[in-house]
Amino acid sequence: MECIILEKNDDGIAQITFNRPEAYNALNIQTRAEFTEAMNDVTNDDSVKVIVLTGAGKSFIAGSDIKEMQATTPIMAHNIVRLGEIIENCPKPVIAKINGFALGGGCEVAMACDILVAHEKAKFGQPEINLGIIPGGGGTQRLARLVGMAKAKELIYTGDMIKADEAERIGLINKVVPIDELDACVQEIAVKIAKKSIIAVKLCKAAINRGAQVGLESGLKYERELYSISLTTEDKQEGVAAFVEKREANFKGK
């Protein structure tokens, strides 16, 4: 792969890096295809428990490739690979390590992740309105769910960028850290999650994501079903035993 770097470590953490720094990691067709391949790899690799997404250079993802967009037809746009849906459909937790600009499609990719951590110089926005178009990768839907309709409309209608501290204040991201602490902070979070029962984490993600799409009654019913499933696992037996014996649990993902 040329536009994506995939790395895995012994802690059960895989990092996928968008690697077009000369183009601020703008999303082109090749990047979308390679990202899909990388996500299929880590999703199906049982040794991977947590996935981290980041960008090479000074940008997370600065949006879609404008040069390619000039030649995009309506049918091409309809069939384009939408990375946010791939991320949300991945059963494993995905952390966005936001190291710079997260604009347009980049903000949409970040919003599809489960946990978002940015350094203090990162910037966010949906500037599609400045091109005479609307967000097409989930921006109108996920942004409103995260920050509320009023703020989402303001950001999308104006195309304004906001800084990381403002993104944290309005609930767009989880945490802001100094630039030199970003890697360590994300690693700490990823390792902490990787030590949990991966089965339980997957069930939590499924319950939360489904609940965001349905009414409370349906969400509670789905949660009860998944809770019942969690009681049947070896990890549940280990977790309870570790608590009683006052020791750290050693989950096997079974």
Residue of 88, 108, 166, 234 with catalytic role? 108
Of the candidates 57, 50, 65, which has an alpha carbon nearest to the alpha carbon of residue 18?
57
Cβ atoms within 10 Å, residue 175: 15
- With tokens 């919003």, the residue in question is 111
Of the candidates 56, 50, 71, 53, which has an alpha carbon nearest to the alpha carbon of residue 202?
50
Of the candidates 65, 55, 50, 49, which has an alpha carbon nearest to the alpha carbon of residue 17?
55
**Going by C-beta distance under 8 Å and a sequence separation of 6 or more, which residues neighbour residue 163?**
122, 123
Q: Answer yes or no: are the C-beta atoms of 39 and 91 closer than 8 Å.
A: no
**Going by C-beta distance under 8 Å and a sequence separation of 6 or more, which residues neighbour residue 204?**
none
Residue of 128, 154, 188, 245 with catalytic role? 128
- Strands, DSSP E only, in the chain? 4-8, 13-18, 50-55, 59-61, 94-98, 101-103, 115-119, 123-125, 161-163, 175-177
- Residue 108 designated active-site: yes
Residues noted as catalytic: 108, 128
